[in-house]
Chain A
Amino acid sequence: MTSDLASVSTSPVSNGAAGGPGPRSGRWRAALRWEAALVLVLVAVVLFGAAESSTFLTPTTFFYLGTDIGYIAIMALPMTLIVMTGEIDLSVASALGLSGAMVGYLWHHGWGIWPAVLVALAVGALGGAINGVLVAKVGLPSIAVTIGTLTLYRGLAEVLLGSMTVPAIGDRPFPTSLTNIGVVPVPGTHMSYSLLFFLILAVVFGVLLHATPLGRSLVAIGLQPEAARFVGIRVNRIKLVLYIVSGVMCAFAGILLTLQNASVSYDAGSGLELNVVAIVLFGGVSIFGGRGSILGVVLSVAIVGALEMALTQMNVDPNVQNIVTGVLLLLSVIIPNGGELVRRVRARMRRLTPGS
């Protein structure tokens, strides 16, 4: 993937934002256009939901939407930064499962909730660090590394809990004051706690990406890793830290899910990595790295969440819901890169045609 990136971004027809001052502002405008389109899609989804389901425009829907997608959305934030650097982390849902399983395992063995939570966060950090070392230090392709750890972390979760659901029969229940985050909104609002945490974290990640030198470094790494290295950006160290952050965020999401459900089993959140990637790409983050915004990802979360709510309330076949998610994912890869792809195909055709 890295070599491919380099060839794309150094080829003269696809200078992207790496050239002079003109393209940079152009890129900003392009990003804003994508977000503007997302706002339109969101409005369309909300209008559609309101038209098709009489219960869609209610505070309860907003609360349910928050509980159902908040913990998934939290994993999308570090994923955004990782994809910005041209890498990917497919182990997120398994890291969530492993951390949740760790909370359950320790709780089952008589630990207090807060020590268990701390250990789970540490496990998340360790899992992220393993990904990070293999990708950034050893230099293995992130897609291969994280497919491996996807299976590994889920396997470890199964080793921890087996067929047991915690609290098992005879265990203490999790503290009600904490499990209430799954059933009670933030006082005075209809917002779920996991959505609130996501929004706070989104602000932090947004500032980090868009208003700090580190954020500019991420963009530079995604666009031209070689150039970034030459100007003194510590590419490998940054990538390592990003994977650790991702591990911690996934652990946090796993803890939230455990408390929301007041229980945990080893398969918690299985398969969610694809939802997370879909949210990030639909939010306008380029799979080739270097382009994307937190605002886009937040809008994407809102769209995906509202769409799932509307389709479930209408009792649309879940297979159709999967098709909708799949098509959104394809569109979000094809549309922003469409011009690029056409140019590349043309260039190849020209090379292949003799005498031209």
Chain B
Amino acid sequence: MPRTRTARRAVAAIGAAALAGAMLTACSSSVKTSADATGSPTSTGIKKGLLVYFIPKDTQNPYEVLADKGGEKALTELGGKVVVSSGTQDTAAAQIPSIQAAIQAHANAIVIAGNDPSALCPTLNQAAAAGIAIVSFDSDISCGTSPNHLFINQANTEQVGTSEVDLLAKEIGGKGQIAILSAAASATNQNAWIGYMKQELTKYPNMQLVSTVYGNDDPATSLTVLQGLLSAYPNLRGIISPTTVGISTAAQYLDTHKSLLAHLTLTGLGLPSQMRTYVEDGTVAEFELWNPSNLGYLAGYAAASLASGSASLQTGSTFSGGSLGTYTVLAPSAGTGPSVVLGPPTVFDKSNISNFNF
């Protein structure tokens, strides 16, 4: 009996090894490679064959996917190559291996949307020490000068925060309880906007911010915290969701619970493609965003320019943003290092939403 048991286990164990081996070879076919360098139009001073790692917050967020595509477009125009690498969860731990992979692949630049303002700094500093240009976009990292990096600001941070409050105030007549449905509690960009929202709210003494909840950019979590919010504050008049995952989840919920719309207004930052049906059927009147594809495209050009030495982090340094025109590096300000601003956010409503396809 013991003997046969042992023999059977041995067979099983070898089976395990064989299966694992088979699995490994199966994986090798799914390696993603971007378009080869074609080397068509040459901008002045950009080196050919640059390798740029795009490290989004995670690989599924539709907003980040669009931004990464914009980056791929930029590098294709410049005769370089983009590798998109990140985890499936919005954590620093999931992004660190991607930075390490970029170092080992001798990438020329890293373009990163930080899941955490500080936890990535030691690893990014190693990358900078290896001669890799660091560009942040979407969500900045606050590493001070180690490493020094360029932040591609999607829009003026203050403008995003204040304009969302103004949009909501206009719709609800400047009074009532409101709440914020954000992404992760540690997300740099959302927290910066929320800071300005609170500042702007002082202009509306009859609007009270009763709660800020965090859906972690996960639809299921966003829905759970939204339902908690609605049951805790039955008199809620407005919700600002400064994240595409939050606003689309909330819009979907309101769409199926139309009775809530009698007293509740939703606005925030959303993707026109996700929000079109809700704007057209009246669930959401207005929301805003910039073009994420352009953001990634500009980040791609900035990364290539820095890696080629044709742009620097000096205030006033200029570089070509391809079809977007020329950009100038802005002076560091409180909490933000050298940066460039993509442009003002666009407000989407029934009249214009069908013109946008991202």
Give the B-binding residues of A (Cβ under 8 A). Answer: 22-23, 25-26, 29-30, 33-34, 36-37, 40-41, 44-45, 48, 52, 55, 58, 60-61, 64, 67-68, 158, 162-165, 167, 169, 179, 182-183, 260-272, 307-309, 311-320, 322, 324, 327-328, 331-332, 335-336, 338-339
Contacts and interface: CB of A to CB of B under 8 A. Distances in A.
Contacts of B191: 163
B318 to A, nearest CB: 29
Interface stretch (B71-79, B88-96, B149-157, B324-332): B88-96
A33 B186 contact: no
A336 to B, nearest CB: 7
Contact of A335 (B3, B12, B28, B83): B12
Q: Nearest 4 CB-CB pairs, A to B?
A: A263-B118, A26-B2, A37-B13, A261-B119
B305 interface: no
Given A40-B17, A315-B85, A319-B88, A34 B101 contact: no
A270 B115 CA distance: 13
B145 interface: no
B100 interface: yes
Which of B9, B92, B335 has its CB near the most chain A CB atoms (within 10 A)? B9
Contact of B184 (A23, A44, A267): A267
Contacts, number: 177
A58 to B, nearest CB: 7
A324 B116 CA distance: 27
Given A158-B185, A268-B93, A312-B100, 12 more contacts: A22-B1, A37-B13, A44-B24, A48-B21, A68-B93, A68-B97, A163-B185, A267-B184, A270-B89, A313-B104, A316-B31, A316-B32
13 contacts: A33-B10, A41-B17, A48-B28, A58-B104, A64-B97, A64-B100, A262-B121, A315-B85, A315-B101, A317-B32, A318-B58, A320-B27, A339-B8
B17 A37 contact: yes
Given A26-B2, A60-B103, A182-B122, A336 B97 contact: no
B142 A169 contact: yes
B185 A263 contact: no
B88 A165 contact: no
Which of B105, B116, B118, B126 has its CB near the most chain A CB atoms (within 10 A)? B118
Given A33-B13, A55-B105, A261-B119, A266 B126 contact: no
Interface in B58-82: 58-60
Interface residues of B, number: 65
B13 A315 contact: no
A67 B119 CA distance: 13
B248 interface: no
B122 A26 contact: no
Interface string B344-357: 00000000000000
A186 B89 CA distance: 30
Contacts of B88: 318-319, 322
Contacts of A331: 16, 19-20
Nearest to B14: A37
Contacts of B24: 44-45, 48, 307
Given A26-B5, A169-B335, A41 B122 contact: no
A313 B32 CA distance: 11
Contacts of A264: 119
Interface string B28-61: 1011110000000000000000000000001110
B34 to A, nearest CB: 10
B86 interface: yes
B125 interface: yes
Contacts of A271: 89, 91
Nearest to B83: A315
B122 A338 contact: no
B87 interface: yes
B282 interface: no
Given A55-B104, A261-B118, A328 B28 contact: no
A312 B125 contact: no
A207 B348 CA distance: 66
A260 B122 CA distance: 8
B8 A261 contact: no
Nearest to B84: A315
Nearest to A181: B122
Given A58-B104, A163-B191, A317 B122 contact: no
A92 to B, nearest CB: 14
Contacts of A320: 27, 30
B23 interface: yes
Given A163-B191, A313-B101, A261 B30 contact: no
Contacts of A29: 6
Given A29-B6, A317-B32, A339-B8, A41 B16 contact: yes
A55 B30 CA distance: 19
A30 B15 contact: no
Contacts of A60: 100, 103-104
Contacts of B116: 165, 261, 263, 265
A52 B105 CA distance: 13
A183 B104 contact: no
Contacts of A165: 116-119, 186
B3 to A, nearest CB: 8
A266 B92 CA distance: 12
A265 B186 contact: yes
Contact of A30 (B9, B59, B120, B125): B9
Contact of A48 (B25, B84, B142): B25
A272 B58 CA distance: 17
A25 B15 CA distance: 23
B5 A339 contact: yes
